[in-house]
Structure 1
């Protein structure tokens, strides 16, 4: 789990109930562990990453949002970086993860000059990001420390900036099965869509909408054309809470 100290330092991220297991331990085999868990879905991780970012882009486009600077909060080894560049077309991407091994690999694998990978939240820019994107990160953060993580997200966003909060949906039985198969997800403390909305509102964000996706596995892919009819219901394997930092700071 990500701790308060790890948000402001370069300590490894503890990913399970066993404090000896960290994300540093999985930096070299992250994709293999993730793919093993997702085998039951019949899809590769890129399928889900692309759909997440495409949907995020479509929502921001509908609101006329211009994206220049993006922060991938909890970026890991940078798997989402090429897709964030391709789909969002920002001028600059920041990737933050307190796992030093993961950040070292991200820097090695994604050498574009517009990518900035850091393992300390202290060096992240302030009030500059148009979008903070996070996926499957907050269930690794202990509940009593999530407010601190959200404060970091808040600090990096410009007034009126957007937060795309993607998480695994504990109300979907397939999600529970996948997480049980991934070593760094087995003991994570999941967050329901309801809890996520409350968490973001408590941090000062305005929650705009909640969508759940990935209802049908590959074997039933012919039904995916109907998925848009159900995404406003909390049924899919993952959900997005799209939130915004108010133009005027209303937090006291």
Structure 2
């Protein structure tokens, strides 16, 4: 989607997103919080306390406050092609952030700027032919020990397919399988690319969620997470 298309959806995005995930029994904030908590767990397991974080494709800032809560000592940069979306990021932040609008081509940061680059369900909006170039740009901006944490929709999950089909914001979305996204990260030069599926149980089965940690190998979760450096 172009900047103009993203700008046009800004005001309706929250309502459309909430409607599309209604079958899960959760609201969009549940998924945003989950991703930030999972990113914090990943970084803690790696022994990294990030000082600078980029939210790549931050959109309306669904994850901004959650990332700031999970990483209270980190400076946060929100990057997006939509200037209107970034104004919402700034409004949702609980501390000042650096909101950066870019051209969708080149990341306007020096090499080795970030300890963590986080992205949540962004690449299905980006043309496939641009993925490896942008992933290479993300890798360039990471510190040598930094991590790239990517969440995406799992096209092999029927509930996810339904959510995407019924969301006007996702009208142009092209879902990418976990193995294919992992291949693209490797083609962009990332090493140690780990893949795990997640979000298996809707709200009505929430008591089973502690089992998810052992189900990451099963490609049926609603989403997947890739961790690379």
Deviation at 1:59, TM superposition (A): 2.0
Deviation at 1:232, TM superposition (A): 2.4
Mean Cα displacement is larger for which, 226-235 or 140-149? 226-235
In the alignment, the residues of structure 2 paired with residue 89 and residue 234 of structure 1 have an alpha-carbon distance, to the nearest angstrom, of: 33
In the alignment, the residues of structure 1 paired with residue 107 and residue 36 of structure 2 have an alpha-carbon distance, to the nearest angstrom, of: 26
Greater than 4 Å deviation, 4+ residue runs? none
Q: Does 1:103 align with 2:86?
A: yes
Q: Is the 8 A contact 1:70 1:90 kept in 2?
A: no
Q: Does 1:126 align with 2:108?
A: no
In the alignment, the residues of structure 2 paired with residue 211 and residue 178 of structure 1 have an alpha-carbon distance, to the nearest angstrom, of: 21
Q: Is the 8 A contact 1:71 1:133 kept in 2?
A: yes
Q: State the TM-score, normalized to the length of structure 1.
A: 0.84
Distance verdict in 2 for CA 1:201–1:34, change over 3 Å: same
Q: State the TM-score, normalized to the length of structure 2.
A: 0.92
Between Structure 1 and Structure 2, how many residues are aligned?
226
1:80 to 52, 63, 77: 63
Deviation at 1:47, TM superposition (A): 1.1
Aligned residues: CA RMSD: 1.6
What is the SS of the residue equivalent to 2:217?
coil
In the alignment, the residues of structure 2 paired with residue 211 and residue 55 of structure 1 have an alpha-carbon distance, to the nearest angstrom, of: 12
Equivalent residue runs for 1:51-70 within 5 Å: 51-70=34-53
In the alignment, the residues of structure 2 paired with residue 229 and residue 50 of structure 1 have an alpha-carbon distance, to the nearest angstrom, of: 20
Unaligned runs of 5+ in 1: 3-11, 14-21, 245-252
Alignment-derived partner of residue 43 in structure 1: 26
Q: Is the 8 A contact 1:35 1:44 kept in 2?
A: yes
Q: Is the 8 A contact 2:68 2:95 kept in 1?
A: no
1:220 to 205, 209, 217: 205
